[in-house]
Structure 1
């Protein structure tokens, strides 16, 4: 399997040199042509997805939802390519510049990272999103999708390559690992001479393995344990609307709320959690909250800090915003956390003190999405502290180099 990955990498390095110097207009044209090719190939792509769905009867409803493509979702995939094509190109942009006392002019310039490996599960839209973002940022992508989406991924990849070639870019700029053998993942993790960065998108098991075994830098998040805190001053109608959307709009996405925290001083906590339960969510409540709504399930210790990715949520009462901040610090995953409040001071304290990649005030956690942030698409949500944080799009897929322009300066 090492030889397979090495062959992919050798072709990738050749394509990377061409892609790094490709003008913005050519890269944008490739994405626009890829979107057109996907629309033209819609019957074949949807038929391939139907094959994957037929073989996925054993998966959970949330996982099947991630896997599903329908005409509306496929159109959104194509539209995302066009959105990325219209974004400002970060490559070649000057970050800052200075002139030293000796006249040496220095500048930091954004450049592509190089060759990026993306290892992902279930969601076939990642094939298109990752390819588009990598190409527009001047990077070559080596994609290794999950076996559950194998037919969908191949169909989407074929359409994308059609767009690349039509625009005069190398087909090898986006490659799909040609095997579902799990050994391919291990080979990618060890390919320090081939890959410059690995981005895993998938379940906890996959991401944990990548972070533990990779000899290549990794950009990832492990869990989306997201909280919504409803403060005593919250507008009840707004709180109910946000809580329901945060949990139930799509339960299988990484931005879904997994834990609801309610201020003990909130006027009617029972009504809020009952509304969530009536909407179809199993609420696992802490002891204090169950005293107000005894019909709810009893939360166990393992329910705190758990990513359900299903119509299930933990919930409890806390002692104001400080209690919420402490709970999130203990059980959160630094992904996305939100506060619902009419008190500006309380909101600003929450936004300042909660150490997550995304913090929101009076908005659903489901906005944790690159498209919603105006980034066109995203390649993932990064929860670490280095390089990039939050939705990673074009700028997050670049690095920089120092460029110096002199007139004969020496240090002597």
Structure 2
């Protein structure tokens, strides 16, 4: 039996005389939710795949068999896998710890001391929100703290679990630091990632074309139209195309990640972050683990007078934790007017963000 985080377990072991809480199942609606999402993704993939097969001379009957049949088969496989996952997964919560047990060919139990839970994230995509369920992600406060994921629970159960784990912190008075201004979307293309996103988008088009052996025809079609142009003009055109595609992608990512943004500050320094369009996210940051903030001002942001605000906290950042899971994102405020990010940073720090800094010596 593996128990990540068990180094903190003995200190909070309950009284042996207390009856152990019962093991609870995950919400069965997650089977339908996962199946619908998988079917949608497969159907979206089937459209370009079917078009490529038709262009490649494959008969309509075979195209329908591969696309529709593949979608149905993939959705059915997802339903079977999710049913099996829910059948072998249980969890339980008491005043001292939260545990998740998976019993299949072998038994695995993950335990987190409730006193060590520092970050709680509740997320739900469109289908999950419609069905009233949500995925809960918990993280302990260490730099590479253990994580525990429960996917999925009834939305009210998930919120009640969050309040239980955060205890009095979840009920203290809060002040709103930041609320999204839709006009901030204009800062999204100023990121240095915009041209890279454009190049990736163009690369995806060629990759899909390569699956169907259509790259030579595509290149020939393009060259017939631009072959007579000077090389510098062609290079400039490719750059402009990459910027246009990258701008569309960066705006789409901004809207998906930051729509309905609301950042709240608790009296004890804890933070509550609500955001997301297709996938709604509610993240809690324990004030005792917040060490500071970072204002990101790359060249594009500086030109526009914008900045992005990240939190510096234990167990939060880039990379993966000791379970191989992606760590919680440190982003608190997206690209926005610098004053908005700086004001939020000042409230979190308890003092204004310094503006005059000492330069390096010659």
Greater length-normalized contact order (CA 8 Å, ≥ 6 residues apart) = 1
TM-score by length of 2: 0.26
TM-score by length of 1: 0.24
Higher share of residues assigned strand: 2
Greater Rg over alpha carbons, structure = 2
Higher share of residues assigned helix: 2
